[in-house]
Every structure is written in structure tokens, then in C-alpha cells.
């Protein structure tokens, strides 16, 4: 049913809570800035504080898996606990794992992160298409079948990205445009929003890529501490901003460990994002 699909749930969450994704990135420097030890105890306290601040007031929360994985099974247990708490408070969980492989390995990733029976099941994941878009089929098929989503890297803000993403294919399209077009085909006919999205950095500027037929959400990292500004979104997307999901991490997390300051930062950025990102008419 449409109500159970990720795209529909994301659309409802963005309409209700606003167009904002908050990252949970407990890297060592941030733990230190919060006065926390760089160990599992510090990770757990950091994550618990962020979840308390964001879970009941933003549409999407995006934990960066690597910062939990570096503590082994205990770190992954903290991540699983955060998933449960976020869902109980009504937030969607987008796990930033950027997985990409072929065949049975891609299927295993899909089982790990998108199967309802998995303790690491997220509402959506990020994925890399650079072994070929078809390599993502097991993840995309699992997502569509189980009410999950996949955000595929398309145009990233890192300086090395254009070497691959702007390279031309035999038919003249850029690699990034082929990714966008493939996602558009998956989303065709799905309303109100497709389950498969793309990742486009806030600082890429006007690249000339056509996303008008995408039909799905666009995750936009790189805002705030990474140099992107909300007003830059119009340079990237024009006036077609209804499916854009701005993502902030460090600009919000730097306000901790005070829950009040974290929430104040969220409210400020929500107001900014609402003023720029217009809902779908």
C-alpha cells in the first residue's frame, strides 16, 4: 500500500515536521568538544543526548555508521538502540553507509539494513553506484518490497567527485545524469514521492544536470560547517525544491552537549529550510 512506502512516509514526515535531516556523526573531535571520552561510554552518552534533542522534532535522522562501527559490536549496539528510540519518537532513520557491491554481497547488505527482521534495519540507506547502477538492484528491490528507501550518490561536494561524476558516457550523458535517469525510471508512476532518492551536495552549484523527472527525494548534505548555505539550493535545483531534504550535522552538533542549545539550533535551521524549500503543490 502507498501509505507503507518510504516515499509516502517521507513526504508525510517532511510536511508535518519540516524539510530537515539531522546527522549523528560522533567523530573523535566532536566527542572531545563535548567533554566526552573517545570510547563506547562517550559514544553512548553523545548518541543519547542527540536522540533526546532531535527525535520528536525532525523528519529524518541520519547516523553515520562508520563512527559507530569503529567501536565494534558495542558501538553497533548503541546504533541499534538509537534506531529504536528514534522510531518510537516518530523520526525516520536514514543510515549513512554508502554501500555498493555486486551479487550476493549486495543482497546481504540489503538484508542487513533493509530487511524488517534485521536489528539494523533502517528506513533508508545511502548507496554508491560506482560498480554500475545495476549492482544496486538487490538493495533497491528489497527497499521497494519492504517499505524502505535508498539514496544513491549522484553529485557529491567532495573535490574529487567530478572526475567520475561528470565523465561522459558513450551516449553523451554524464555518469551522474545516468544515475539520475536510472533512479527516475525506478520512481516512475509512484506517488506522492518515489522510494529511491539521490544525494546531491549543497555546494555543487548549477551543473546543468536535469532532475526534473526524478520523482523521488534529494538528500542535500554539505550545508553549514561544510560551506553550503540554504540559499545555494536554488542555484542547484532552481525552483524545483519540493522534494529536497537539506541535511545538517556539525552546525547542529557543535551546540551540544546542551539539549536546549541543540533544539534551539534545530528550530532556527527548520525556519530557514522552510523558507527556502517549498512543499509540493
| Contact between 238 and 211 (Cβ < 8 Å) | no
Buried b (16+ CB within 10 A) or exposed e, 11-37: bebbeebbbbbbbbbbbeebbeebebe
| Contact between 232 and 213 (Cβ < 8 Å) | no
Task: Give the burial class of 122: count Cβ atoms within 10 A of its Cβ; 0-12 exposed, 13-18 middle, 19 or more buried.
Answer: buried
Residue 147 makes CB contacts below 8 A (sequence gap 6+) with 4, 5, 6, 9
CA-nearest of 20, 63, 34, 92 to 268 is: 20
Indicate the pairing of strand 60-63 with strand 21-24.
parallel
DSSP-derived secondary structure letter, 207? -
Q: Is 98 a catalytic residue?
A: yes
- CA distances 33 to 82, 227, 262, Å, are 21, 20, 14
**The one catalytic residue among 48, 57, 87, 98:** 98
**Catalytic residue ranges:** 98
Amino acid at each position: 500500500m502507498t501509505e507503507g512506502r518510504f516515499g509516502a512516509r517521507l513526504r508525510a514526515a517532511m510536511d508535518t515536521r519540516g524539510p530537515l535531516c539531522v546527522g549523528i556523526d560522533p567523530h573523535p573531535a566532536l566527542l572531545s568538544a563535548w567533554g566526552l571520552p573517545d570510547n563506547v561510554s562517550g559514544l553512548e552518552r553523545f548518541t543519547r543526548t542527540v536522540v533526546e534533542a532531535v527525535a520528536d522534532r525532525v523528519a529524518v535522522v541520519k547516523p553515520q555508521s562508520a563512527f559507530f562501527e569503529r567501536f565494534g559490536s558495542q558501538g553497533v549496539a548503541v546504533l541499534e538502540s538509537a534506531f529504536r528510540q528514534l522510531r518510537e519518537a516518530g523520526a525516520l532513520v536514514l543510515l549513512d553507509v554508502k554501500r555498493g557491491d555486486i551479487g550476493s554481497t549486495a543482497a546481504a547488505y540489503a538484508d542487513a539494513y533493509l530487511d524488517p527482521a534485521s536489528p539494523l534495519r533502517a528506513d533508508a540507506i545511502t548507496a554508491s553506484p560506482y560498480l554500475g547502477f545495476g549492482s544496486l538492484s538487490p538493495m533497491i528491490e528489497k527497499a521497494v518490497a519492504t517499505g524502505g528507501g535508498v539514496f544513491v550518490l549522484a553529485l557529491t561536494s567532495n573535490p574529487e567527485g567530478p572526475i567520475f561524476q561528470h565523465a561522459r558516457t558513450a551516449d553523451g550523458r554524464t555518469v551522474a545524469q545516468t544515475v539520475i535517469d536510472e533512479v527516475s525510471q525506478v520512481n516512475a508512476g509512484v506517488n506522492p514521492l518515489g522510494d529511491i532518492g539521490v544525494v546531491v551536495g549543497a555546494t555543487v552549484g548549477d551543473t546543468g544536470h536535469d532532475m526534473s523527472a526524478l520523482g523521488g527525494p534529494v538528500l542535500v548534505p554539505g550545508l553549514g560547517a561544510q560551506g553550503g548555505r540554504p540559499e545555494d539550493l536554488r542555484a542547484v535545483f532552481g525552483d524545483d525544491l519540493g522534494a529536497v531534504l537539506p541535511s545538517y550535522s556539525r552546525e547542529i552538533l557543535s551546540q551540544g552537549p546542551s539539549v536546549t542549545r541543540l533544539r534551539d539550533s534545530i528550530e532556527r535551521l527548520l525556519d530557514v529550510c522552510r523558507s527556502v524549500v517549498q512543499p509540493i503543490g
